[in-house]
Structure 1
Amino acid sequence: MNSIDTSNSNSLIGSSNLLIAAIAWGGMYGVSQTALQYLDPYSMTSIRYGCGALIFCLMLWLKEGRTAFRYDGQFLRLWLYGSCGFCGFSILLFHGLRHAPAEHGAVIASLMPLISALISWITQGKRPNGATLLCTLVAIAGVILVISRGDIANLLQLQAIKGDLMIIIGVTCWVIFSMGISQLPDWSSSRYTALSCSAGLITILCANTVASLIGVSVLPTLERITPVLFEIGYLILAAGVLAVSCWSNGVARMGALNSLLFMNMIPVAAFVIAALQGKAIEPMEIYGMALVITALVANNVLPRIQRADRVAPASSR
Structure 2
Amino acid sequence: MKQEQSLAIYFWMLLVPLFWGGAFVAAEHVITEIPPVTAAAFRFGTAGILLLIYVLWKRKFDAEALKKQWKAILAMAITGIFGYNIFFFIALDITSAINGSLIVATTPVLITFGAVLFLGEVWNKQLGFGLLLSLVGVIVVISRGSLATLLSLEFNAGDLLFIGGLLCWVAHGLFGKVAMRDVSPIVTTTFTTLVGSIFLGIISLFEQGWGDILQMSTQAWGEMIFMIICSSVIGFLLWNSGIKQIGASKSSIYMNLVPINTAWLAVVLYNSTITWTQIIGMIMVIMGVYFVTLHPYLQNKRRAVVK
Provide structure 1 residue ranges, at least 5 long, that are not aligned to the other structure. none
Indicate which of 221, 224, 230 corresponds to 2:222: 230
For the structure 1 residues 28 and 306, does the alpha-carbon distance in structure 2 shift closer, same or farther, using more than 3 Å as the test? same
* Distance across 1 between alignment mates of 2:231 and 2:243: 17
Distance 2:169 2:128 in 1: 21
Matches within 5 A, 1:25-104: 25-64=20-59, 68=63, 71-72=66-67, 74-95=69-90, 99-100=96-97
Match of residue 135, structure 2, among 125, 134, 140: 140
Matches within 5 A, 1:197-208: 197-208=193-204
2: CA distance between counterparts of 1:304 and 1:250?
14
In structure 1, what is the equivalent of residue 281 of structure 2?
288
Deviation per residue, 1:58-99 (Å, 9 max, x gap): 121112256549841543332221110111223334456664
Among 207, 210, 214, the alignment partner of 1:220 is 210
Q: 1:128 to 1:13 in 2, by over 3 A?
A: closer
**Residue number among 187, 202, 223 corresponding to 1:191 in the alignment:** 187
Residues 173-212 of structure 1, C-alpha deviations (whole Å, 9 max, x = no match): 3343233233231211111112222332343234334xx2
Structure 2 distance, partners of 1:174, 1:225, is 32
Identity of aligned residues (%): 22
Query: Cα offset for 1:235?
Result: 1.3
Q: Deviations over 1:199-233 (max 9, x none)?
A: 32343234334xx2xxxx34232377512222222
The change in CA–CA distance for 1:225 and 1:84 in structure 2 (over 3 A counts) is farther
Deviations 1:239-261 (A, max 9, x none): 11133345566788x85598778
Cα distance, 1:111 vs structure 2: 6.3
Q: Secondary structure at the match of 1:64?
A: coil
1:269-308 matched pairs, under 5 angstroms: 269-276=261-268, 277-301=270-294, 303-304=296-297
Aligned counterparts of 1:223 and 1:312: Cα–Cα separation in 2: 56
What corresponds to 1:181 in structure 2?
176
Mapping 1:103-122, distance limit 5 Å: 105=101, 113-122=108-117
Retained in 1: the 8 A contact 2:144–2:275? yes
**Distance of aligned partners of 1:176 and 1:96 in 2 relative to their CA distance in 1, 3 Å threshold:** same
Indicate conservation of the 8 Å contact 1:141/1:288, yes or no.
Answer: yes
Structure 2 residue runs of 5 or longer lacking an equivalent are none
Structure 1 residues 132-164: Cα deviation after superposition (integer angstroms, max 9, x where no partner)? 3333333332233233223333233448x8878
For 1:14 and 1:259, locate their aligned partners in 2 and report how far apart those are by CA, in whole Å.
10
Distance in 1 between residues matched to 2:125 and 2:165, nearest whole Å: 27
Counterpart check, 1:243 vs 2:239: no
Compared CA separation, residues 29 and 69, structure 1 to 2 (3 A): farther
Determine the C-alpha separation between the residues in 2 that align with 1:168 and 1:279. Answer: 28
CA separation in 1, counterparts of 2:14 and 2:149? 33
Identify which range, 175-184 or 240-249, moves more after superposition: 240-249
Q: 1:291 to 1:25 in 2, by over 3 A?
A: same
Q: Cα RMSD between the aligned structures?
A: 4.2
Distance 1:76 1:202, change over 3 A: farther
Decide which structure has the larger Cα Rg and report it: 1
Cα distance in 2 between the residues matched to 1:124 and 1:65? 26
CA distance in 2, matches of 1:135, 1:15: 15
Deviations 1:86-125 (A, max 9, x none): 1122333445666427xx85x9877654432122245458
